[in-house]
Amino acid sequence: MRVAVIGTGYVGLVTGVVLAELGNDVICVDNDPRKIEMLKKGIPPIYEPGIEEMLKRTLEDGYFHVSDNIGDAVEKSEVVFIAVGTPPGPDGTPDLSAVRAVAKEIGKALRKYTVIVNKSTVPVGSGDVVENILKEQGAPEELFDVVSNPEFLREGSAIYDTLNPDRIVIGAKRREAAVKLVELYAPLEKPMILTDLNSAELIKYASNAFLASKISFINAMSRVCEACGANVADVAKGMGMDKRIGDQFLQSGLGWGGSCFPKDVQGLIKSSEGLGYDFQMLKAVEEINETQTTHFVDRIEKRIGGLKGKLVGMLGLAFKPNTDDIRDAKSLVIIEEVLKRGASVQAYDPVAADNVKKVFPDITYCDGPYEVADRADVLILVTEWNEFKNMDLERMACSMNEKILFDGRRLYGKAKAEKAGFEYHTIGS
Ligand code: UDX
């Protein structure tokens, strides 16, 4: 099938590359000349395991093409994906200006029947917004259908997730348009749910908000566990063995961050508000997530007798392992808090340090994990990178001023850390 994907961020690029890998003729479009140049050379502008090999292969085999011209890509395609960013605006409502701008360009270029697919996470009702823009640009109704096909990929395993989705959600007004996407995804041999536009748009928000709620629930339990001396990992294990609950997304830690959960939880709160419903449960989910991090910093401050003049070592900066993404990363909150309370910071992350440098240019960035411990008064594990799992903890403890470890992701466990000479603190036990 001939496919265009507008926007080469995480969602757009991964979708484009995977569809090319499946033998479709794909044109990926972006308005950033730097990204276009990189992609033409087979260099992905994002960090994502496995994407570079797939990009190079599909480029060489002639399935993957790059362009900066939306009109040209639309003319050559049967299906056009809109996969541009929808960042939260000042009040948390998703900003649809990029989606609107792309829809305008598509509307101008429509000459034959084309299926326009919203892959960006957009509030309920956005399918109609796109449809209206296309009509305003003079595109006759019979020349297009707008379809919602939300993406559920996780950063760090985006290629795998796109090739192995639990389900494929397709929302459309007319069956013929949905069938086009059913054909496109048929090679994946995965369950597909066909529904209306609004329900498809809501499935995405509901799924992410529910997963974020699951994490906030176990993080709230971690506070109860800390207060009574129980162990949150055992509580989660016991809960997760009930098949109705399931064991995933019950890992207690510093809370959720990233490009999706924060903006989608906020987005659903705002959409609900607009529809006349006050989604109080999600407001609590957000609040638990915020206080989870500040409570952790409070505990550190209390233990080391104030942060003023202290040196804090931080292991990991990305919002989760295997990504350089720092959007809503807990590291940013922790850095801001400890600096505000008078400490200085030395930090290391295998890939995300350059991004954090743009936000905090004045903290010290180390070349490796052992440097982070050097002369530090406290060591904080923020992101559970594989690289940190089997580190020589004894060597780290030896180079510290005070051998105190605060493990924000429950990575090491008391026995292992204490054996290495650390005084060990973690979340929920
Ligand atoms: C998420 C959804 O999983 C994905 O389906 C959606 O399309 C985009 O949002 P992503 O943000 O890439 O994906 O990462 P994910 O692995 O889901 O983790 C999100 C956050 O939750 C991270 O900050 C992670 O550290 C945290 N998390 C996750 C926990 O704290 N505990 C858990 O048990 C799981």
Q: Ligand 1 pocket: which of 319, 320, 328 to mutate (most atoms <8 Å of CB)?
A: 320
SS3 content of the chain, % helix, strand, coil (to 5): 45, 15, 40
| pLDDT higher than threshold 90 for residue 91 | no
260 catalytic? Reply is yes
Query: Which token pair is 415?
Result: 């026995």
Lowest mean pLDDT across 20-24, 142-146, 258-262: 258-262
- Which ligand 1 atom is nearest residue 323's CA? 12
237-273: per-residue pLDDT in tens? 999 999 999 999 999 999 999 989 999 999 999 999 9
Strand 2-6, strand 25-29: pairing: parallel
Q: Is the CB of 217 under 6 A from ligand 1?
A: no
Ranges in the chain annotated CATH 3.40.50.720: 2-195, 226-429
d(CA 354, CA 358): 7
**Cα dihedral 113→119→122→128 (10° resolution):** 10
Q: Is the CB of 153 under 6 A from ligand 1?
A: yes
pLDDT on residue 88: 85
Contact (CB, 8 A) for 265 and 285: yes
pLDDT on residue 179: 96
| pLDDT higher than threshold 90 for residue 181 | yes
Cβ-based burial of 313 (10 A; exposed 0-12, middle 13-18, buried ≥19): buried
pLDDT on residue 92: 80
- What is the separation, in whole angstroms, between the first and last Cα of the chain? 53
Q: Is the CB of 155 under 6 A from ligand 1?
A: yes
Residue 170's alpha-carbon distances to 16, 26, 195, in angstroms, are: 17, 20, 6
Query: Which token pair is 188?
Result: 């994946």
Instruction: Give me ligand 1 centre to Cα 59, in Å.
Output: 30
> In percent, how much of the chain has pLDDT > 70?
100
Q: Where are the beta strands (DSSP E) in 93-191?
A: 114-118, 144-148, 168-172
Residue 155: band (very low, low, confident or very high) from pLDDT cuts 50, 70, 90: confident
Three-state DSSP class for 384? Answer: coil
**AA letter at 225:** C
| pLDDT higher than threshold 90 for residue 414 | yes
- How many angstroms from the chain centroid is the CA of residue 119? 15
52-90: per-residue pLDDT in tens? 999 999 999 999 999 999 999 999 999 999 999 998 888
pLDDT on residue 94: 87
Residue nearest to atom 27 of ligand 1 (CA): 256
Determine the Cα angle at 419 with ends 417 and 420, to 5°.
65
Whether the model pTM is above 0.85: yes
| HSE (side-chain half, CA atoms, 13 Å) at 248 | 2
Count CB neighbours of 255 within 10 A: 26
Q: Is the CB of 319 under 6 A from ligand 1?
A: yes
187-220: per-residue pLDDT in tens? 999 999 999 999 999 999 999 999 999 999 999 9
| pLDDT higher than threshold 90 for residue 276 | yes
Instruction: Determine which one of 28, 225, 260, 366 is catalytic.
Output: 260
Instruction: Give me ligand 1 centre to Cα 258, in Å.
Output: 7
Residue 361: band (very low, low, confident or very high) from pLDDT cuts 50, 70, 90: very high
Q: Ligand 1 pocket: which of 211, 288, 290 to mutate (most atoms <8 Å of CB)?
A: 211
Q: Is the CB of 250 under 6 A from ligand 1?
A: yes
Count CB neighbours of 11 within 10 A: 26
Residue 328: band (very low, low, confident or very high) from pLDDT cuts 50, 70, 90: very high
Residue 120's alpha-carbon distances to 8, 86, 392, in angstroms, are: 11, 7, 43
d(CA 107, CA 315): 48
Q: What is the CATH number of domain 2-195?
A: 3.40.50.720
Instruction: Give me ligand 1 centre to Cα 162, in Å.
Output: 15
- Homologous superfamily (CATH) of 226-429 is NAD(P)-binding Rossmann-like Domain (3.40.50.720)
- Which ligand 1 atom is nearest residue 383's CA? 25
pLDDT on residue 259: 87
d(CA 296, CA 219): 11
Q: Ligand 1 pocket: which of 119, 217, 256 to mutate (most atoms <8 Å of CB)?
A: 256
Question: How big is the chain, counted in residues?
Answer: 429
Three-state DSSP class for 170? Answer: strand
Mean pLDDT, range 143-159, rounded to an integer = 95
- Which ligand 1 atom is nearest residue 156's CA? 12
d(CA 80, CA 143): 13
